[in-house]
Amino acid sequence: MEKKIKTALKSSVYAMLILGTVGSFGSLQAKTSLMDVVSNASVDGFGFMRWAVVNGKDGDGQRYQLRFKPTVTTGEVNGWSASAGIFFSIGSATPDGNYTNDEIQGSRGFRTDMGGSDVFNISNFYVTKNIASWQTMLRAGVMNPLTPMNDVNLDRGIGVYATNKSLEWANVTFLWLDSWMSDDMYIRSFGYKGRDEHKYEGGVANGDLTGSSVLNNAIGAGIGNDLVSIGLSKETGDFKYRLWYTYGEKLFNYMIFADTSYTYHLNDANSFTILGQIAATGFQNRFQYLSKSKFFQESGAISSPYSAAEIAKNRGVYNINATYKYAPPESKFSFDVNLGGAGSFGDGYGALIDNTGGLKLGGNIWNTFDGAERNGYGITGAGALKGSYLNLGYATINGQYGKLNLGFNVTFIDTNNYVVLRKASTTGSMSGAAKDTHRTITSKAVEAGSSKNPTVTSGFKVHFFEIGPTYRYNFTNNLALIGYWKFAVGDLSFNILRWQVMYTF
């Protein structure tokens, strides 16, 4: 009965939207020319080229990454518009023992069939209806999920999205996805060997997958567990808040994200802002991913042989920070200082679909140097392991003069299930006797990954600082040079230099 009701609901929603679209555009054919639609069209998105290099005792490598993501939206006709976007991505910004020797990928053009992270195809395709009198927007099709649990640029889903801004106390958002995929989870699945080797091979996401047994099931995979999200948010003067609830069919009973901030203005030039954030997820006792990917199929459930003692059922994270800002009116100079800390609660901290989502944290490299970004707060990252924890303390200062912005950040990382680069575990700080000393949660026999559950990461207990500058120069309002040079100091020792030229539409 439940399946029939859900199928009928899906059919009804799509039918109404399709008929509404056809009817609206059909009735306007005599009144509206193609030129009217085209002349009012808009483009949004971004494009960038990155260069990243890793050096030190615990990391090496050098990579390029190119990405281009424009979305074109037609002009509105009686509130209706259509959008289509392409996505081009090649290379990697997370080197791990690999270099730029073959980055050009041959003559004539780039190849997008050598690995799941390289792509050139349609990314978004949706129809939007704006109902001004109701302050309501309806959208259906293929889109990026605009929630604080997701990566709003890279995650994708097929479904319905709606917003209403008629209430004084809240903007209401609804999202239903029938088929979806998180970018972090997708990249994560590339290194899973499957079959009788229920473990994850780190680093494969950055390498050549040709001939790998994962190609037949990981490339092009989706997740069919329906996601239903409801969000409330409002920005009233200096006070802001967001409250989101998500239900994952056969996965989790709740995924909650909430934050609130308040800005106090001392005078025209000085202000003080405090921000508090929390995220929590409760997995079902018998969860199951609906996907062709072996990585997800063999993740099992809490009560299955693949995950009986390893999966964290109740996961949570909190983050608190305060910012002082000095910005005199009509002055080219401004600066701000941010201090904060984050911690975890429950039996794990993998509480979001993306590795950070809407969390406002310190640092740049501690949770991004791994291709699948397993060191953040994603539900299949390091925080999925029962007994895992992650504590952060951070301080950042930024100064801006005209088009130039310079910053300096210090972040302290304390965790007991940390993913490291290949060099660290083979010849670096986590090799030899240190490998056994720092691997405190899982057994020594599963050092390449979990022997029971593919979505569980086997990492190390480490304490270290991330220290270094950030920089940004805005050539124009749309074109900027962005980068950082960060050093890991402590149990791990490496540095990452990144340059990025970025254009936003």
Mean pLDDT, residues 448-454: 50
* pLDDT above 60: residue 26: no
Q: 33-42, 299-308, 357-366, 484-493: which range is least confident on average?
A: 299-308
What DSSP letter does each residue of 280-328 carry, written as one string?
Answer: EEEE-TT----SS-HHHHTT--TTSTTTTTTB-SEEEEEEEEEEEEE--
Which has the closest alpha carbon to 122: 70, 80, 76? 70
pLDDT in tens, 78-91: 899 999 999 999 88
Burial of 349 (0-12, 13-18, 19+ CB in 10 A): buried
Alpha carbon of residue 320 to chain centroid: 20
Cα 139 to Cα 159: distance, rounded to the nearest angstrom: 8
Mean pLDDT, residues 167-195: 87
Mean pLDDT, residues 60-78: 93
More confident residue, 99 or 63: 63
- pLDDT (0 to 100) of residue 456: 63
- pLDDT (0 to 100) of residue 51: 95
- pLDDT (0 to 100) of residue 435: 78
SS3 186: helix
pLDDT in tens, 456-496: 666 889 999 999 999 999 999 999 999 999 999 999 999 99
pLDDT in tens, 122-172: 999 999 999 999 999 999 999 999 999 999 999 999 999 999 999 999 999
Strands 192-194 and 333-346: unpaired
Which 3-state string (H, E, C) describes 121-148?
EEEEEEEEEEEHHHCEEEEEEEECCCCC
Contact between 446 and 199 under an 8 Å Cβ cutoff? The reply is yes
Q: 44-53, 139-148, 233-242, 379-388: which range is least confident on average?
A: 379-388
Burial of 355 (0-12, 13-18, 19+ CB in 10 A): buried
Cα 465 to Cα 473: distance, rounded to the nearest angstrom: 26
Percent of the chain residues past pLDDT 90, beyond the cut: 62
pLDDT in tens, 399-445: 999 999 999 999 999 999 898 998 998 899 988 878 777 875 554 43
- Cα torsion for 302, 303, 309, 313, to the nearest 10°? 30
pLDDT in tens, 282-316: 999 888 899 988 888 877 655 444 454 578 899 99
- pLDDT (0 to 100) of residue 210: 36
**Where on the phi/psi map is residue 209: left (φ > 0), alpha (ψ -120 to 50), or beta?**
alpha
Contact between 140 and 126 under an 8 Å Cβ cutoff? The reply is yes
Give the CA distances from residue 53 to residues 72, 440, 499, in Å, rounded to whole numbers and listed in that order: 34, 30, 9
32-504: CATH class: mainly beta
Which has the closest alpha carbon to 231: 273, 261, 259, 262? 259
* pLDDT above 80: residue 17: no
* pLDDT above 70: residue 213: no
- pLDDT (0 to 100) of residue 300: 60
Which residues have C-beta within 8 Å of that of residue 233, sequence separation ≥ 6?
Answer: 170, 171, 173, 240, 241, 242, 243
Return mean pLDDT, the chain. Answer: 85
Where do the structural domains in the chain lie, given as residue ranges? Answer: 32-504
SS3 content of the chain, % helix, strand, coil (to 5): 15, 45, 40
- pLDDT (0 to 100) of residue 106: 80
pLDDT in tens, 428-438: 998 887 877 78
More confident residue, 391 or 380: 391
SS3 466: strand
pLDDT in tens, 112-123: 766 667 889 999
- pLDDT (0 to 100) of residue 30: 42
- pLDDT (0 to 100) of residue 502: 98
* pLDDT above 50: residue 25: no
